[in-house]
Structures are given as C-alpha cells and as structure tokens.
Chains A and B, each alone.
Chain A
C-alpha cells in the first residue's frame, strides 16, 4: 500500500524545480522504480512531482557536433527501437532492450533508468541498512550472492542499470537542471561510490533533475556492444554485464572503454581491461589477458565468488566478438 503524499504534475521545468526544492519531494518520471520504493517503504515522499507534462523532455534530437540528445523522459523502449540509436550506438540499443520486461520498458524512462535506486534485497526489504540511514550493511555478512566484487566499501550494492554502462562506455553526459541553474556532468563523474557517500548513488543534489542525456557522435571505427548475463530470460537485472565501445584502426584497438554492470556500486570502468587491449588486435590471448586484468583487483564476498569466472568468461567472449564484428 502506498503511503500518503501530495502529487503535482508540473507544467514547466521551472515549476517542477520549484516543487522539488523542498526536502521530501521526489521526481516522478515513469514511476516504475519510485512506486515500488514508496510501496515498500524504502524511502518516504511528502510530495511526488511528475515531469510528464513538461514539454521538451521526451524524444531525441540532434545535439551539437553530431551528438544525439535524448530527453530524460524518453522511454527505454523508444531508445531501444530508435533507428539512429540502433545504427550508431548498437551497444545502447542492446542495453535498452535488455532492461526489465516489455511493460517496464514502455513505462520506464531513460532518465529513470540512470537514476534508479539499487536492487539490493536488504535495501529493498525490511532492513534498516546503512544506505537507508542505519548502521549496518547486511550484505557484508549476509546473503551477498548478487552483490559487488569491485568498489565496495561499507555498502556492497551493485548498480542496477543496463543503459548506464552502455552510455558511459560511449562517453555520454547528462544535463542536469536544478535550483542553482544547469550543469552538464559526464556520466563517468555522475555516479558516487559508497566510500564517498553511502546514501546516494549519484551526484544529484536535492531538487536537481536529469533533463537530457547527450551521446557524442561515434568517431570512425567505433564499435559498441552490451551483453548481460542473468538468471532469467526477462525481468531480471544483470548477474554480470559488459558494455564495450572501442575505436578500431583496421583490426587494432586504438581507444575505447570497457564498462561492467553487476560488478560494482557504480557502472564500473575497467581501465585494467582497456590498457590490456589498446594498441592490440583482439586475438584470443589478448582478450583472455584483458578479462583477467579486469578481475585482477576483484574481491569476492562469501557468496559471490562465481562472479570472477563469470566476468572473465563474459569479457573474453564479448571482446572476441567485437573484434570479429
């Protein structure tokens, strides 16, 4: 059952920002995550501010320098089926079509997918955990089979988004509007590790809203992909995932990013894997080395040791595949 809250359908961005300034106000985009969190008492809301009536936040337009500017209210399904996205950013199209289930993709938004709260079952359940202002991370000594192997400290969530690693690999940025004006933040700097702040996943301050996602034009020779391993064919988050956006010169990798999902509290850029492949052809030995490098600093918890061989196999397979593409 939902708790009581005030509901406002903002008519403009300024209107929304005015209502969101107060603590206890929450953004409502697609609502697929918000409603569940409210229903499960994960957090509280005095006021729910819907963005759905604000013009200009839904749909895709051409940005500067050939970039693609995606309105935050564009649904995940719209991103997944967009012809430009499929042609220029296959990694993003794949990630968007791997999200949740058809119903959720048609209701959920790209902005919401980037800003969703973690799926840790302690965070979502009746546990007053560290991320909810408590004193304990239950995952550390508990049922941590789906938790992180990289970047954990105090709290051991994994970031649940599929589109975030794909966009991060493609060098995307988010445009943010807030009470103190607008700013653009590269996705790489958007997410916050628990060692920095255990109660937030992003740099968004109270009252700030993601309005657009800007994906730069891919240079010549860029190939991208996303692959997600999960326990069930639909409506499931990643056990392990990898987003690749690599620039090739002939068959040699000259630049690019390797970003993992299901590995860390934020979409995890593996510079170790990147340095193992940049300058090389993606031959199997190189791919194997890169996969091992990505896991070199991984520290499994009691119940998620499988993630090391799983990620190793996955990264190896995806690199080989992109090398052949």
Chain B
C-alpha cells in the first residue's frame, strides 16, 4: 500500500488512455551521443546574466503592489478590522478583509482556502487578516501598518509533544488529533522480537525546517475582461490554474498561469497560496495588474515547512544480521490544519530493508503553527534519521560492519506494496560501490588507531535510503516542432524548478533529431500555450516528461525520414538524422541537409506529439541511495566539521551528468542543514510566535558548512522496464540518507549518539558533558 491518497502530492500510475506511439514503444537507447554527457544548462546564460525573467521580475504597465496583513498571534479571533486610516493614505487603491465588502464569488477550496479567505479565527501566526493594493510597495507596507485589528487572543499550543496532554489547549474543538492513528502491520512483531539476538529501542526527533527558496512566494495578476493571467513562482502551472479556477468559479480556459522561470520551491510551491487569490481579487477590484510577493518573514510562517517528528523505533536483529522485527511509533504536526504532519513518514520502515514483521503507528497532531508542505522527500529524511541510526547501533551490537548489515537485508521486492518487484534495485550496488569508492573499510580501520583521549577525533558514517516515488508516470504530452531550416521547438507543460529539466529535455530531443541542444527553443510551463503536465515534484519530472519528449521527437523523426526517403529514393528505415542532415546508415556518403528537403519546405513545419505511456503493471519503480561521510568532532566544544561526503545513487539512467551531480550535491547540502543547523524555534511557553524568523537566526548551511571534498557516484543503470528513457528521479533521494550518515559519523568519532536534530555545538557539547557525568 502506498501512502494514503490525501497525503500524497504526486500522481503516479494514473490509468488514463493515451494515444499510443504508432510503432509501439521505442527500443531503449543502446548507445547515446548526447544523453548522459555532462552538459551545462541551455538557459545558463540567461540565468547568470539576469536576463531570465522570473515572476518576481515581471513589471506591467499600471501595475499596483499588494501586501498582506497577517495575524501576529498564534491563536486569536478577529473581532474587527478598521482600515479607515489605511484607505486614506496616498496611493492606496484597495483594502480587503472580512470586514470590507469583497467579491463573494470565492468558493471554499479544501486545500487552498481551508475555510474562507479571511477566517474569523486565526489559528496560526501568519494567517491572513487583510490585504491592500497600492501604487508602490512602500505605500502598501505603510497601509498594512495603518490597519487596526481588534483581536481576542486565545490560549495556544505550539509544541506537538504536549498536544495530547489533558490540559493542552485545543486547536480545533474536535481535539488535537488530525485523525485516528495511521496503522500498518505485517507478520508477527512480537514473534520477531522473540527470535532476535539483540533488540534495541530508541527515541529520535527531527526539528521543523523551513523551505526558504531564493525566490519568494508570490505572483502578478492581470485581468483582461473576464480572463485572468497569473505569473506565479510555481512548480506546477496547471495545479495553480485548477485551484484558482475552482476557488474563483471560473472555467479553466479563462485562467492562464505562466511560470517560465522560478527561483526554487522544494515542494512549497506545488500549489498556489491565499496570496494568489488575493492578488487576483485586488487586481479585479482595482482594474489594474497587481504584483504580490510575500516578505521573507511571511514565508517563514505561512507557506510551508517540513513538519517536526518524534519517533520511537524498536528493532530486533539476529547475530547473522537478519532483521527480525521493526516497531515504529511516530507523531508529527502539519500545523493548525491537516497538512501531512506524518505524511510518508513510515515508508522507509515499510520498504527499505527486508523484514517480515513490521508494526507502525503514526499520529498526526494539530498545533497553532503554519502549515506543513511537501519538503524535498516528505517524511523520508526524518524516518532515515531514526532507522539508519538504529541500524548503526544494531550493527555495533552484533559486531557487524554497518554496510554488511544493510547488505544482509536488501529486499528485491517492495514489501510496502504487497511484494511488488522493483523494476530495478541498485541498493546493493550503492552500498558496495559507494563503500569501495569512499574507502569505507580502510577508513574504519585507520580510525581505530586514533588515541582514545584525543581532543579532536574523527569518525566515518554511512546511511542508505530509497524514495517512495521517483518513477513518474502518465499523464504527460509533449510537442516537438521541426522547422524547414532544421531548427527545433519543444513545447511542454512542465516547470523547470531549477533542476535542469529544460536542459535534459533538450538533450533528449537532440539525441533523436541530431541537433545541437542549445539550438532548441523551449516553450514550457504556460497553461495557455503548452500541453498539460503535472507539477514538478516527487522527483518524477525527468521520468515522466522525458519519455513523452522522446516520443514526440521520434514522431517528428519518422515524418522527416519518410519525406527524405521519398526524395532520396531510399528506404526510410535505412536513414537517420545527424548534425542537421538526414544520413544513410548503410552508406554515410548518402546524405541530405534537412534544410534541403523540399517536402519539409512545402509543409513549413513537421509537428510531433508524444505521450507518456503507462508504467509496468505490478512493478515498483524507486530510486535508491547510500551516502558516506567523514567528520571531525572537537570533544571539548562539541564542534563538528564535515570533512568529506560521497553520494552513491541509483536513479536509473543518468541523463545529464552535470545536473545529476548538482542534485546530489544540493541534496547533501540540504541534508547537512537538517542534521547540523536548521530548526524552527517557536516561543512555546509565552506567545507561540516564531522567534528565528530571518535568514540569520534560521540557519541554512553556508559554503563553509559544506565539505570541500564532495563526490557524486552515479550507479548508472538504465531502468529499461520503467520507461523509454530508463531514468528515475534524483532530486529527493539525494537528501534522504545525509543527516543520519552524519549522525553515525559523529557517534563513530565520539561514542555519543545525537538523537535529536540539529547537531549544533550546543547540543553536542551538552551530550558530551552528560556522557562524562554518566561515565
């Protein structure tokens, strides 16, 4: 069973009819000329030079600036909003709140609006109370400060660990449980523990993280009559279109969402926000375009986070390394509304290691805080933090190398999906080849020679992982257009969220049509002009889109070769396209430049359409990973320095070695943030407000926190059964094992286990002091 449908944000394996490729699925590539090479991005110059227009760069004639007033309280009823002073300020064109006459055509939308745009009770700091539009951003900010709100401040709950206490304030009248506990079990857990030689039980906690993408959340909204255009910083233009059209009760055809460039999302931009609707309403009311981008502070509160999780894990193992039972209990919170506080949290327990006897209970809880959103591999890094640390302790307890213990328990089937076989599993290869390239055994042996009393000690650690999605699937449609001069246009709906999607897709087209990837003009992520695509999330963009793009290119190729065959008077199946020419595979001297094909000139363009075919039935498609690192710990001060990192990843075929490596290094860097520096701090005892609400106090890693020595080791094995390009996702798996690999290395260095994130000098110094006292 996959995670509950309402906890999922990706769509996979939808059973929808698609037009088949006339000749059936193409054969997998045997040898490639362009795919798999190391290639800078097709839009690198635009991005670096600043000519790329991001939504936050959009400036329209007559445009106004919007701003939002948000509740400063963790829990408060809005008794009244007095906007008279704000309305009288120069340049202020509109003020809207629950207390102003506003367009009532907005409908409740379950995921976007929860209840209403302006709720009577603000259940978290940062909930929307009012909004303004003004001639300049400064006037809009002044207007926000001039609005007087009367609040009835209520008791709040800011720590989910207290949510079930008898005296805990209730976030909703129904109680602080979001729903009944999520339960899963297989086999006989008690029997499994009875069989084990060693049983360990430990508790772990991961702190809430904030996405903090470089580009803020927001959009520009413009009306032309009854049609709305939105330039939104988003991972999926079609999901913004669907949710906005639904909330405004408009036909989809009248809502156009454009999202060409966007400056990062990590899952927090898979859906529009209340800000999107507010921009649309303000634009409608003022009959002017409105630009509304949140402040950095607002993004800390209201547009997503990785939920904090509390995990208790009990595991049994035999001396020979056989895992006999896993018992997992976890809580978490997605804030004041249902937002997946424990979403996908248990997947690694179900699926990563072969284990017959598994029992899981998860409890999602409410607190008065902003909503969780999918955050790069939802649930997985948290669960890995627990599972991979306990595996490490178990290996120690039975005197087996941590890599060996994992190799002993590599499954060939997806146990969490009723033992569906994996199309491919590179878990063992990630472990073995990763350990070899890292010098794992040598490092473990060498470090034994460190003096016990050294003030600074080194350690190595590793962890493994898999990602529940990453195989992609239908629907996706791509259109490739070849012009008479041989130049090519690619049209697709998917967003490039900074991962290099456009570059990879250009490489696929170039592979089939024999053109330069940089010469391909790409039109994408625009609901008005491109075919439907699901949002770019779930590490599924490449495996979803690249087969559709390949099919579209092949459709063009077939048509061009038919034209050429007739003009060259040879059989079409003896021809191919290379370097702007049609070339005979039998006799390379027989060739004709594409630009000289009369039939092509007469038609003007050849258009190919490609669809994403279904995934193999009854199979699981997942990426796998193992990461290794070495750290140095100062036992006096608790300072941890990460010296080197290696990521070994099976994500099927490597499409572009450079963007693949970018994902691995980026994932490791983000994992370092989870392990070492990042933590949302709420003022739990006094106000419930977030106190580290800026980029200094909320610490994302800097260049100095990332080791100089980083290695990306692709386990480059095309997954030909999964789809027609053989690629699986890499974005999310790259961050799953990082944090526990660091924790295991710290323990290897100093013998103390860091069970709670982040492993700051503060925490490690305290743990070392406790250990000295205890010892």
A residues neighboring B (CB under 8 Å): 1, 101, 119, 121-122, 124-127, 138, 141-143, 145, 229-236, 239-240, 304-310, 312-314, 316-317
Contacts and interface: CB of A to CB of B under 8 A. Distances in A.
A317 B761 CA distance: 15
Interface stretch (B335-343, B549-557, B701-709): B701-709
Contacts of B137: 1
Given A234-B702, A313-B638, 17 more contacts: A1-B142, A101-B702, A138-B686, A141-B686, A143-B683, A231-B761, A231-B762, A233-B702, A234-B703, A234-B705, A235-B702, A304-B762, A307-B762, A308-B769, A310-B637, A313-B636, A313-B637
A236 B699 contact: yes
A229 B639 contact: yes
A141 B702 contact: no
Interface string B525-555: 0000000000000000000000000000000
Interface in B692-717: 692-694, 696-697, 699, 701-705
Contact of B691 (A101, A122, A309): A122
10 contacts: A119-B697, A121-B681, A121-B697, A143-B682, A232-B676, A232-B699, A232-B701, A232-B705, A234-B703, A309-B765
A42 to B, nearest CB: 12
A235 B700 CA distance: 10
* Chain B facing A: main interface SS: loop
Contact of B638 (A138, A234, A310): A310
A138 B762 contact: no
Nearest to A315: B636
B699 A309 contact: no
Interface of B: 72, 137-138, 141-142, 455, 634-639, 676-677, 681-687, 689, 691-694, 696-697, 699, 701-705, 758, 760-763, 765-766, 768-769
Contact of B681 (A143, A235, A240, A312): A143
A232 B702 contact: yes
Contacts of A121: 681, 691-692, 697
A1 B141 contact: yes
* Pairs A-B, 10 closest by C-beta atoms: A233-B704, A313-B636, A309-B769, A1-B141, A306-B766, A310-B765, A121-B691, A234-B702, A231-B760, A306-B762
Contact of A230 (B636, B761, B768): B761
A32 to B, nearest CB: 11
A56 B350 CA distance: 70
A125 B689 contact: yes
Contact of A142 (B141, B677, B683, B761): B683
Nearest to B759: A231
Contact of B766 (A125, A126, A309, A314): A309
B259 to A, nearest CB: 27
Nearest to A230: B761
A101 B682 CA distance: 26
A104 to B, nearest CB: 10
A259 B758 CA distance: 28
Nearest to A40: B694
B636 A317 contact: yes
Contacts of B769: 306, 308-309
Contacts of B693: 125
A116 to B, nearest CB: 13
Given A121-B697, A138-B683, A234-B703, A306 B691 contact: no
Nearest to A41: B145
Given A310-B761, A313-B636, A231 B704 contact: no
A239 B636 contact: no
Contact of B761 (A127, A229, A308): A229
A14 B568 CA distance: 89
Contact of A313 (B676, B687, B758, B765): B765
Best-surrounded residue of A231, A235, A239, A304 (most CB of chain B within 10 A) = A231
A289 B626 CA distance: 45
B683 A233 contact: no
A229 B702 contact: no
A121 B703 CA distance: 24
A239 B696 CA distance: 14
B636 A314 contact: yes
A313 B682 CA distance: 29
B761 A316 contact: no
Contacts of B639: 229
Given A121-B691, A317-B636, A233 B705 contact: yes
Best-surrounded residue of A229, A234, A317 (most CB of chain B within 10 A) = A229
B761 to A, nearest CB: 5
Given A309-B766, A309-B769, A314 B637 contact: yes
Contacts of A236: 696, 699
Contact of A231 (B72, B142, B677, B694): B677
Contacts of B636: 312-314, 316-317
B214 to A, nearest CB: 16
A229 B765 CA distance: 11
Contact of B138 (A1, A124, A316): A1
A44 B467 CA distance: 50
B760 A142 contact: no
Contacts of B694: 124
A142 B686 contact: yes
Best-surrounded residue of A141, A142, A304 (most CB of chain B within 10 A) = A142
B699 A231 contact: yes
A142 B699 contact: no
Given A231-B699, A232-B702, A234-B704, A239 B761 contact: yes
Contacts of B696: 119, 235-236
Contacts of A316: 636
A306 B701 contact: no
A124 B758 CA distance: 23
A316 B765 CA distance: 14
B722 to A, nearest CB: 39
A234 B702 CA distance: 6
A126 B758 CA distance: 25
Contacts of A239: 760-762
Contacts of A229: 637-639, 761
Contact of A125 (B691, B760, B762): B691
Contacts of B766: 305-306, 309
A105 B473 CA distance: 50
Contacts of A141: 685-686
A201 B69 CA distance: 33
Nearest to A236: B699
A306 B686 contact: no
B691 A143 contact: yes
A48 B226 CA distance: 48
A52 B701 CA distance: 33
Contacts of B138: 1
A222 B138 CA distance: 54
A309 B689 contact: no
B685 A126 contact: no
A126 B455 contact: no
A119 to B, nearest CB: 8
Given A1-B138, A125-B689, A142-B686, A306 B704 contact: no
A101 to B, nearest CB: 7
Nearest to A231: B760
B762 A310 contact: yes
A145 B693 CA distance: 15
A142 B683 CA distance: 6
B134 to A, nearest CB: 12
Best-surrounded residue of B635, B676, B681, B682 (most CB of chain A within 10 A) = B681
Contacts of A240: 637, 761
B515 to A, nearest CB: 42
Contacts of B760: 231, 239
A235 B695 CA distance: 10
Contacts of A233: 701-705
Nearest to A312: B636
Contacts of A306: 638, 762-763, 765-766, 769
Contacts of A304: 762
Contacts of A309: 765-766, 768-769
